[in-house]
Copies of this chain bind each other. A is one copy, B any other.
Amino acid sequence: MEAKLQELKNRLVEVNDLESIGAVLNWDQSTYMPPGGAPARGRQMGTLALLTHQKATDPEIGHLLDDLRPYEESLPYDSDDASLIRVARRQYELNTKVPPAFMAQLQSHMAESYDLWTRARPANDFRMVQPALEKTLDMSRQLANFFPGYEHIADPLIDYADYGMKASSVRAVFNELRDSLVPIVQQITAQQPADDSCLHQVFPEEQQLAFGLDVIKRFGYDFNRGRQDKTHHPFMTKFSLGDVRITTRVKERDLGEAIFSTMHESGHAMYEMGINRSYEGTPLASGTSSGVHESQSRTWENLVGRSRSFWEFFYPRLQGVFRQQLGNVSLDTFYRAINKVQRSLIRTDADEVTYNLHPIIRFNLELELLEGSLEIRDLPEVWRERYASAIGVAPPDDKDGVLQDVHWYGGIIGGAFQGYTLGNILGAQFYAAALQAHPEIPAQIADGEFRTLHEWLRENIYQHGSKFTADELVKRVTGGPLDIKPFIAYLKKKYGAIYNLN
């Protein structure tokens, strides 16, 4: 058994090595690759992806997993070995149930569709991508049908990002969340909007970057095992547990952009950096789901980074860096500016209160499209209706409407958006549990001290990597299931104080 387990691990490490190499290619493409490198890089990534897929679906892995089943069953569920075999089997099944020819066809279609979108969005021309999007929907359905026995056709697609979540339960939670959010949004937006002009002066890039790096260093982002570079869109990427990089972007006239994206990505990165080092190279050595991952990025960006405690420590420092711009701006004004709530069109720019309304709209549209109750050709119009009714503003065009997010154009329809909102819900649940265990955390944050929080997250969430599903993890950590109450309580308390709500 030991020899078989070792053989399995060797094969999994090989697959992981190839995936990590792909991540390096991708990072380089986004950071430093000169334009002339693009054509060959695309081909090289294709060559590597094919080899990786061949290795990941080698029938010998299937045999080893079968042979190891009795051993797995003899071990405690949460032992490292049982978990490794279990998670490896899950991934092997995801990889092998889809014929390679279909996967290649899908990838090639997505590349084409993405390319169309990069031109259709600036041209505000949905019709340009409509046929491609129809094909994407068709192929997304086909993909789901390689996993028969589902309850809802979206379920197998949701599994790719948030394993074990179901359309039915997510929909129920999201409906409950929306019903709770709408009155809060109404109360706040009935008031005079916050003045955030202090954030839109000129802030030189170099100082913005240095400030962000100082913040995440204090969070506990380990620069010995990571670095930050600039990209068009910020992201986190991991080449090993010893090399977890982040990227950011800077806008000279928007102080929030770099600072909050840096905190956000550092949250993703600290999750990966905190995984048990003995899992290196195996399928356990990754965050467990997109929802749990997002819970960590949003914890550091929002629960910590947009808190008053945080800025009690950091605002005087920020003023020190930008004396001319912020010297006469009070902490109160600044705090209200970075927490400005408004009905808006663009998901990625939305504040904490209205944000979740955006992914919920998309999640419901995904379900309806997959079910067949909504046609692609009607999507732009339905998008406008949903925005008008759920958020209270409707996009004047498709550019800032149905074309705004890359997801459906560079990927499948189904499973793409629930993670964002699950992340906000889970983040608040985890954070409430951390505060219960350590009520001193906010006071420590106000002293620029993050070790207690970071250590609690490492101990309760990070170290486990993919050992537990999101459902299992939330139960372990909070004692109960996914629950919107901590998030709603957090919003009511924080924004109640800012906006004097009753």
Contact = CB atoms under 8 A, between A and B. Distances in A.
Contact of A240 (B37, B51, B226): B37
B37 A17 contact: no
Interface string A30-44: 001111111111011
A239 interface: yes
A312 interface: no
A150 B164 CA distance: 65
Interface in A234-261: 239-243, 245
Contact of A20 (B40, B51, B241): B40
A502 B415 CA distance: 82
A225 interface: yes
Interface residues of A, number: 39
Given A24-B25, A25-B21, A37 B281 contact: no
A225 B33 CA distance: 9
Contacts of A281: 40, 43
A7 interface: no
A227 interface: yes
A428 B35 CA distance: 34
Given A14-B47, A43-B281, A242 B36 contact: yes
A40 B280 contact: yes
A225 to B, nearest CB: 3
Contacts of A40: 17, 20, 239-243, 280-281
B43 A243 contact: no
A377 to B, nearest CB: 39
A240 B281 CA distance: 29
Give the dominant DSSP class at A's interface: helix
Residue in A34, A48, A223 with the greatest tally of chain B CB atoms within 10 Å: A34
A32 B229 contact: yes
A39 B229 contact: no
Contacts of A20: 40, 44
A129 B245 CA distance: 36
State the oligomeric state as a number of copies. 2
Given A21-B25, A28-B24, A48-B17, A36 B224 contact: yes
A18 interface: yes
A483 interface: no
Contact of A17 (B14, B24, B47, B245): B47
A229 B38 CA distance: 19
Contact of A34 (B36, B38, B227): B227
Nearest to A243: B37
A13 interface: yes
A72 interface: no
A243 B33 contact: yes
A81 interface: no
B225 A36 contact: yes
Counting chain B CB atoms within 10 Å of each CB, which of A35, A241, A242 scores highest? Answer: A242
A222 interface: yes
B240 A34 contact: no
A242 B24 contact: no
Given A34-B223, A35-B224, 12 more contacts: A13-B47, A17-B43, A20-B44, A21-B25, A21-B48, A33-B243, A34-B227, A34-B243, A36-B243, A39-B242, A40-B281, A41-B239
16 contacts: A14-B47, A21-B21, A21-B25, A32-B227, A34-B225, A34-B243, A35-B224, A35-B225, A36-B222, A36-B242, A40-B239, A40-B242, A40-B281, A41-B239, A43-B281, A44-B239
